[in-house]
Structure 1
Amino acid sequence: MLEPLSTIRGEPQLARNTRKLDVRITVVNPSVRFTERLRMHQVAAGQKLANHNIPALLTGSGVDFHQATAIDAEARLITLDDGAILHYDNLVYALGSSTDTRTVPGANEHAWTLNDPRLAHRFSQRLTEVALAGGGVTVCGGGLTGIEAAAEIAEAHPGLTVTLVSHAEPGSMMGVKARTYLNRVLDRLGVVRMVGVKVTKVLPDAVRLDTGELIASGLTLWTTGVKVSPLAAEAGIATDTKGLIITDPILRSVSHPEIHAIGDAALIQQNWGQVHGTCQSGLPTAAYTADTLARLLRGETVKPFRYGYFHQPVSLGRKDAVIQFTNVDDTPNRWHLEGKAAVAYKQSVSSTPPLAFKMSKYMKAQVQLSKGGRATRETA
């Protein structure tokens, strides 16, 4: 019997790989909806996205679905929302991450996040009201999520004042040429940048900076800082100080080897450094784990997980984008893509998870992401 707690990524592949084995696969998730987190900035700007219902997507795959949020790692049990108890022999832990609003006073009470599509939709409704009143919105955090959100909101509401507050230069992880293009687009969209400052407090209608300055803000969107669910640590699974499950070379928990951790919830070390949580690394870890579980069940050997980054795709509204290609450790290399070509590239990346899932019902969907070649195997 095989009953993993997992997100939607990798499940059809696992079902296909274990078709001739006597196993049962169950997806357990807190919600019936598959949330495309990399598109939440579009929802926040007022766009309507497709509703991917997990049970509907699983139809015909032979995979069961239940809702639950509780694990007993020692007894290998999951308590479902309806009170039933589910036993597992192997479990895939893929609960992801969310924005951390605990570090700055007032952020949890007064700032919005892109963690939940329902909240993002309500934010978009409030955004329209603020825009009509001639107010402004403040986006806190100059990472990729903050950049995409600021650009999307500015494009959707041209008369709205959008201020992006960041301690580091927005796009600082990119090369000079890509960053120059990024700033040119933000200028065209009218996004105001306040760089080199930190938000020290979020108020109902303003944010306070470490300079003492108070910025009026009809709405504040918080995109900086990441946290993971405390579920793993509470269940007694070995985690780091942030709550990430510590994994071995084949992505199994070092304390509970029957548990495989993937995506944002896993602490994954490579020779070049630590894998950080993005969809770019989530897909390969899921595909790898689907293959690994099937191999282990067949008594076959498994090679260690090897991975390297290769791009940083950033949408800048619906009509523009910039792609920075990277080295395996996610540092920028000399190549980048911009404009319409970058828009098409970003769209293909953003549509990958649900498309790959649907296609996997008819054929084995390959995850064509760089493993980094020799650089992932050489000692740093």
Structure 2
Amino acid sequence: MNPGDRVRVEHDDATDEGVLMPTTDEDHLVLKLDGGYNVGISREEADVEVVESGVYDIEESEAGGEASEIEFDADLPTVALVSTGGTIASTVDYRTGAVTARFDAEDVLRAVPELAGRANYRGRVVADILSENMTPAIWQELAEAVKEEIEAGADGVVVMHGTDTMQFSAAALSYMLDTPVPIVFTGSQRSADRPSSDNVMNAVCAVEAATADAAEVMVCMHATPSDDDCALHRGTRVRKNHTSRRDAFETVGGEPLGTVDYERAKDGQGDAAGVSFHDDYTARGEGELAIHSELATDVELVKPTPGMDPAAWDYLDGKDGVIVEGTGLGHVHTDIIPRLEELVEDGTTVAMTSQCLEGRVCDRVYDTGRDLLDAGVVESGDTLPGTAKVKLMWALANTNNPADAMGRDLEGELTEESQPWT
């Protein structure tokens, strides 16, 4: 019995079957179950049967070793792996217990050997940060790097990114780039050396999506807690809704743009056979590559709450733009409305979103809303607050009328009417 063997363990009136992991020791067996999770079982009173030997060469693949040598195959698509850091490119420092971003794009290929043979890869590092340290300046570098990779012939781009702010970066590139090929963000909730890591499946599915037909900016992450499907979320409609679940990302206000069947993706070789789409999309090659990377960075997102000190709004004076994450249909305390009116009169674009996860802003129902409209506040429909901030940063720098742009759909962020999704 060796790491990589498939074993069946009977213990405590239960039976578990999975791949024996190298973290097994003399006291405990560690199995990776078919659902992707690891389970530890005491060796005491455990009856172990080897079902199949050498199912997976865990020791070789997890040890790292020499750099991967991937030969060019003219029959395979070319996928650019652009790394910004994050948990998918991280490991655990066992001295401190901290997760540290350590891998560049080439390390990702070594860490995820399942990527080999699916595409011809080019690796590129834009940043080596955890995503809480992301900045608009790095968005601009990332957009330029992705553009250059597409110009160099990439058939698709996979951006390795930390999950905490992935939705912001995906939204930013949605506005900054017109793309003729897929741009797919992916990451992992759990690093490669932790139980039930999602890095392999997410990376494989992201590469599969990068060879598919939708020339969109998408986020590819687990669709369920198990290793079955990945969801493809449009970059302007996605939100991280859980701190740690593998299916933390959701399309708000609708269904994901598409899905990737992991089993079919594993069997395919750059043919996108596992990818299916559920909504209209921009087809590969339909648009021309262009970049519009200017951003007005002096934009804030504020969230009014009961009892909030009106003085907290003073720091907004002189800002280029303000996104208000209002309550309900898009409201603030009535005492705040004169402050917002002053901001508008001083040239600040103020747009309203909602703290609610579903539904849209409508400031024509109650007096507070009508007073906000009279003050010059712009409705942003059902645009997500984070997306709205990125959109306003982009609109201020790239349109003649940013207030008008905030009320129109530019990249799938604003639907014509909200749907009663259950």
Larger radius of gyration between Structure 1 and Structure 2: 2
TM interval, shorter chain, is: under 0.3
TM-score normalised over the length of structure 1: 0.25
Q: Which has the higher helix share?
A: 1
